[in-house]
Structure 1
Amino acid sequence: MKILKHIFPIAVLTLTGLFAACSPEDEQELPTYSPAIFSDDFEWHTKGENPQNTWGTTAVKGTKKWTFATFRNNSYLYFSAFDNPKEAENDTWVTSNELDIDKANLKRLTFTSTQGFVTDTLNNKLELYVLHNITESNADTVKLHFRKPQLNVPNFTWVNSGIVNLSQFKGKIKIAFRATGSGTDGRYDGTYEVDNIKVF
């Protein structure tokens, strides 16, 4: 009888598990997988590779541009007003290649970003834009909102952007990040980094 006392609870548990496996929740439809039409984690830079024409960078004020950097085997887009040459005013953009947003199932964008020693997000800021209606000489720009790096946390803490909706755009677009700062004013000489960019 001692053996039966142990077998009976096990049998009940087994039957309960079988019925639980057929619960209505298991019949719910899973979300459709949406492959990325564009993805860059910059690990090609970690490996010492250099794809041609991946990103373009332009300095609107000053001469300092976005660049690629690597720390602890992780690579990313990098801008720092503190680095030499120290200029009174920096306004610099980095822009992706053209993407056909119509090929994306969801038309969404995600990325991660971080800040270092930023104390003023008005003059030392990071912004996200989409360029569309692109011609050889011009493009319309739309500023988009995203979850930005926090100031009251340890420097260089990565933050997820959240899901950025791109459904208002059609055809060819470009993703652009803008950073501003000052290398001669200690209030505005912080650093920004961007990584893990995906459009899907």
Structure 2
Amino acid sequence: MKTNKFLKVVLGLMVTFAVVSCVQDDDYTVPSSMGDEENTNLNSLIASSTEVTIAEALTYFVPGEVTPIVTNVYVKGYVSSSDQTGNFYKEFFIQDSPSNPTAAIKIILNQVDSYNQFNLGRETYVNLNGLFIGEARSGDDVIAIGGKPNLDNEVEALTANQIPTHVLRSQVTEALMPLTLSISQISDANIGMFIEIENAQFSSSLDGEFFVDPMDDFDSSRPIESCEGFGYSYFPLETSSFANFAQQPLPTDFGGTIAGIVSKTYNGSNLVLALNSTDDINFDQAKCTPLDISDFTVVVDEDFQSAVNNTDFDFPGWTNFSEVGSRIWREKTFSGNGYTEFSTYGSGDAENIAWLVTPSIDMTGLDNVFLNFKAAQHHLDSEENTLEVFVSTDFDGTNVLGATWEPVAANLPSQANSWYEFVDSGLIDISEYSGTLYVAFKVVGSGTDLDLDGAYQIDDYKILAN
């Protein structure tokens, strides 16, 4: 009995000490459960350095170069990727917020099983002074923080000696809320973010297939499909052959949501989604099917089948206008399909801006009215090479810049899509407009900047009523 009382006293003292040790004595104190040395380093970093946002840190990157950081600045973020399942290796991403992130950056480090220290959602600080920002693989457009440059103008991993003084945890771990995006909304701006695709599924044609093809040495790509408008959109799911779920069968019977990290293929040619865990696949719904156009009344239908290849676009009632530069929209045909295209390649203009405006639409007597079209891209290298969609009720049929144009949200092709892959815009509700309505497609690019000389294509323009 005396022994039990003694143990109770000792345990009570231990609990009291533990509680006292976690009390913050100023704004910078981190609980000592993180380790005294790490606490000291983090407290010192916050007190003596200036915080920059992840978005600001990304601007330090110069394409083709490695940027040394020589000022007392740090960046803070929340861990969005995990190597616990083996699908990431000696790297993790941090994003600027546990929900609705706007920027993310990769940290490459000579450490395996980093999830034990930098777990998902962990608030993490990176002392940038003495580190470098660049690409771990030249030209892949994935900006990373590393420990030193190499002769190929790439950043290399932080060493075991650099990690404890440059990558520091706080006591905070937040629950990550994935950013919900449609497949056509995913872009380079989302690299490193934890995102979720709704209405996602794997095609029944993949029945019996595994996340990784047993014949692949390093990784495999499996297309995620999602219903968007009258068709499917696709996005590659890339899985490492070292992932512990590599030889699990793909779930093809149901659909739902799938969440993961936006990244790039090894050579940077395409955006991909990488899973932290198969727990982020929630296929508990019946698989989706695209909308059936027979359920709608087609008010306007232009399939561009009368296009004359490689001529300036001059369909009756349409307005083809160059705001900046010499290029306008062109008529194109390929394999029997007609469409219209705007390309700045070879224009010689530093900037090209071109509008293609549809004939007028009489909205009188129409209810539940929707805009629908298909769009594709090729040689798209930058999100600044944009395609936008607008509507106007005061366009006079001639003065494009004198009209009031309102942007409308549409599913549009991005770098994640294969070249010439037509993406369904989805049904764009334009029922709120009355009178005479016009739709405009606007592209911004350049004939001298090789990152901005891509092309966009439009096909199967429709106005529908339901």
**TM-score > 0.5 by shorter chain:** yes
Residues 152, 138 of structure 1: CA spacing in aligned structure 2 closer, same or farther, 3 A cutoff? closer
The counterpart of 1:74, out of the listed 328, 337, 350, is 337
Other-structure match for 1:5: none
1:44 aligns with 2:306: yes
Structure 1 spans left out of the alignment, 5+ residues: 1-30
Determine if the alignment matches structure 1 residue 97 to structure 2 residue 347. no
Change (3 A) 1:134 1:59: closer
Matching of residues 63-142 of structure 1 within 5 Å: 63-82=326-345, 84-122=346-384, 124-135=385-396, 138-142=402-406
2:419 to 155, 161, 166: 155
Which ranges in structure 2 are unaligned for 5 or more consecutive residues? 1-292
Superposition CA RMSD, Å:
2.5
Aligned partner of residue 104 in structure 1, secondary structure: coil
Cα displacement string for residues 87-109 of structure 1 (whole angstroms, at most 9, x for unaligned residues):
11000000011111234342101
Q: Residue 195 of structure 1 aligns with which residue?
A: 459
Rounded to whole Å, the distance in 2 between the matches of 1:116 and 1:53 is 27
**Separation (CA, whole Å) in 2 of partners of 1:193 and 1:32:** 25
Partner of 2:429: 165
The structural deviation recorded for 1:33 is: 4.3
Shift in Å at residue 38 of structure 1? 1.0
Measure the CA separation in 2 of the matches of 1:114 and 1:105.
Answer: 29
Residue 144 (structure 1) aligns with: 408
Q: Shift of residue 32 of structure 1?
A: 8.9
In structure 1, what is the equivalent of residue 324 of structure 2?
Answer: 61
Alpha-carbon spacing, 1:103–1:42, altered in 2? closer, same or farther (3 Å) = farther
Distance in 1 between residues matched to 2:366 and 2:335, nearest whole Å = 32
8 Å contact from structure 1 (residues 76, 193) kept in 2: yes
Instruction: Please identify, of 160-169 and 133-142, the stretch whose mean Cα deviation from structure 2 is larger.
Output: 133-142
Give the number of the structure with larger relative contact order, counting CA–CA contacts within 8 Å between residues 6 or more apart: 1
CA 1:51/1:103 → structure 2, altered by over 3 Å: closer, same or farther? farther
- Three-state SS of the structure 1 residue aligned to 2:364 is helix
Deviations for 1:44-86, whole angstroms, at most 9, x for unmatched residues?
22699x985231111111011112111111111100111x432
Residue deviations 1:135-176 (CA, integer Å, cap 9, x gap): 479432111110111312321111100111101210101111
Letter of the structure 2 residue corresponding to residue 191 of structure 1: A
Distance 1:45 1:88, change over 3 A: same
Would the alpha carbon gap of residues 44 and 103 (structure 1) be closer, same or farther in structure 2, given more than 3 Å must change? farther
* TM-score w.r.t. length of structure 2: 0.34
Moved more, 100-109 or 88-97: 100-109
Preserved contact between residue 37 and residue 104 of structure 1 (Cα < 8 Å)? no
1:181 to 445, 448, 462: 445
C-alpha spacing 1:52/1:100, structure 2 compared with 1 (3 Å)? same
> How many angstroms apart in 1 are the aligned matches of 2:315 and 2:389?
23
